Each structure stands twice: as C-alpha cells, then as structure tokens.
Amino acid sequence: MARLVLIFFIVACLKTVNVLAQGNAPTATPVGVGAATQGNIAAAPAGTSSLGGLGVNYGLLGDNLPTPDKVIDLIKSNKINKVRIFEPKQAVLQALKDSNLELALGTRNEDLQSLATDPSAATKFVQENVVAYSPGVKFSYITLGNEVIPGQYANFVFDAMQNMQNALKAANVNVPVSTVVATSVLGSSYPPSNATFGQDASAVMEKIVSFLQQNQYPLLANVYTCFPYFAEPTNINADYALGNANVAKGVTDGSIHYNTMFDAMIDALYVAMEKVGGKDVKLVVSETGWPSAGVNLATMDNAKAYVNNVIQRVSSGKGTPLRPSIPIEAYIFAMFNENQKPAGTEQNFGLFYPDMKPVYPVSIA
C-alpha cells in the first residue's frame, strides 16, 4: 500500500464507513472459516480492456524480493491477468513485455506538481515509460496520484491528468487516465445512498469526476474493510467485514440489502460520483486486502477468508447492488510481504512470502 501512516487509514475508514453495521449493531462474532482449497487464482482472459477481472498490486518495498522476471512468471502461473505498480520501474516494465498482462501504471505522488505545471514532464513520462514499452506492454490505466485527495498534492491531480491525457494523445496512445483515491474522500457514506464527497475533497473530486465522465474513464479506489473492523470489532460484524455474505448480519439501505461491507463501500463511491454528475463513471477497486499478522484481528484465517471471498466475488462476474450489470475489477493488495514497510500490518498483506511460497492458500471455483 502506498500509504501515509496506518492510523490515518483507520480514522479515514471509520469516517468513510461510519460504522456501516450500525442499525443492526451486531456484536462481532468469532471468526471460524475453513481452510480454502489450495489452487490457482483465476480471472478473466488476459488482454481484454473491459472492466472486470482480478489483478494484484506488485510493490517493491523489500530487500529480499524475487527479480521482476520471476515475479511476472509467478503472477501468470496463478492465472492473474492484471497487475498494478505504483511508479515506473524499468526492470518491471521490461519483464512485463509480451507477458500479456494488463498493467495499471502509477506516477509518484511527489511528481504530481511537475506533471501538473509542466506539460513537457508528462510528455517525458509517456515517452520513457509508455511509448518505449509499447506495444509489448498492455497498459490498462495511467494513474496520477495514489491517495492524495484530500492532501497537499490534491490540487495538482486534475491538471496532471489533463497533461497526461494530452501527452498520450500526442503519442497516439489510447490509455485511460485516472487517479487512485482512498475512501476518505467521502464525508458521508452511511447508508450508501447518503454518500457524498467530504468538504475537504469535493471541489477536487467534482472536477476529476467531470473529466472521467466526459472521457468515459473509470475512477480507481482503494477499498479496505479491515481497518474499520479492527477499530470497532464490537460494532461491525465479522461476517460483514470479511465478505462472508451472511444475510442476517448485513445492512439495509431502502430497498437494497448489503451482505458485505465491500459492496456497500463500492456503492457509496458510486453514489457520491453520481451526485456530482458522474452517473456513468465506473469504479475499479485498485487495492483491497487483509493483513495476515500485525494486530489481533489480522490473522491468517481472516486474511484467507477475505481474499478468497473477494476472488469469488470478482469471478462471479456480478456487479454491486447499485451497478449489477458492471462486473467488479479488483486488485488484491498485495503480491508479497514487504519487509521495508512500517512494522505491523503493513508488512503482512502479501499473498506470497519473498521466497514465492504462498502465505495462505487461495482458490476460485
């Protein structure tokens, strides 16, 4: 996770979800999930440009990680067809050539100001990191900024997106341009039908959503149910947070019933976008996951349950209650446990250890 500090995201998720399980106010029940059947992760066929399918976040904050060529082979062997990286890394881009994997490529947050104020910076980025690797690398999205709204870089995002789009068009490259937000962009989200962007994010988000609506590009959002659950385990039901689809423990919003917090958080973002004119903007879940260690509720069983539930949810091809016809596209966070991240949960989101052995089994029907 290209994150700030862990406590920020606990607070942000609480602000966003506003304890989504309130109303039923269930007590968190003991988590008892059976072991998942070991097997490969499967997703939609590679090389498609439509929404839907399973991806993985490939971070590099470790001093003991495999070389990029081995990582790409590992991703492919597990039938994952999409990958996201947080900034251009030439060795990774080279390893992705002719892999048939779709790539969501990010820019560094600290580069947003130059990309926003200097069109030649966007041109340089496109030439060095996109054109130089095309058509061997299949770029699905170029994202300007990761979780910077609200914040010090927020006002640079819109102009950076425009400059990047212009640079791509000048290079005759057709790749959607977007940004990655945290759910902290929401000021209200419970119930999802009441969702709005927060006052500290609304002005920026309105411009971005208008740009996405006009160009028919998606918004990317990092959706974590674990952090609000960690902070309020007595007010948020475990099944609801883990995605176990326990109907009795869900949340009712008018005529819609949410069995999982995952769906409710996605639809809250859809509602907020529609309220500022983005009724046709699709949402891509750029990060979601559950740590297997670091705090009491970050257990191997919980991580295994949540990630397998997300995989099954994505592979079903079904959308959310508000967008049932739009398949969910989601990127699991993350590929590896990374030892150069802050100690605790941050180091324990990986599907794999650095030796490429699975942290826990994942499977798909």
Structure tokens at 172: 């005759």
- Nearest to 309, CA basis, from 233, 241, 222, 231: 241
From 287, 329, 338, 346, the catalytic residue: 287
- Respond yes or no: is residue 287 known to be catalytic: yes
- Give, to the nearest 10 degrees, the angle between helix 261-275 and helix 6-17: 70
Of 87, 110, 128, 147, which residue is the catalytic one?
147
Chain CA centroid to CA 96, Å: 20
C-alpha distances in angstroms, 193 versus 58, 66, 264, 331?
33, 44, 9, 25
One-character DSSP codes across 176-191: -EEEEEEGGGEEE-SS
Annotated catalytic, 147?
A: yes
Q: Which of 67, 105, 72, 73 is nearest to 86 (CA)?
A: 105
Nearest to 128 by CA among 89, 181, 182, 83: 89
Amino acid identity for residue 295 in this structure: V
Residues labelled as active-site residues: 147, 287
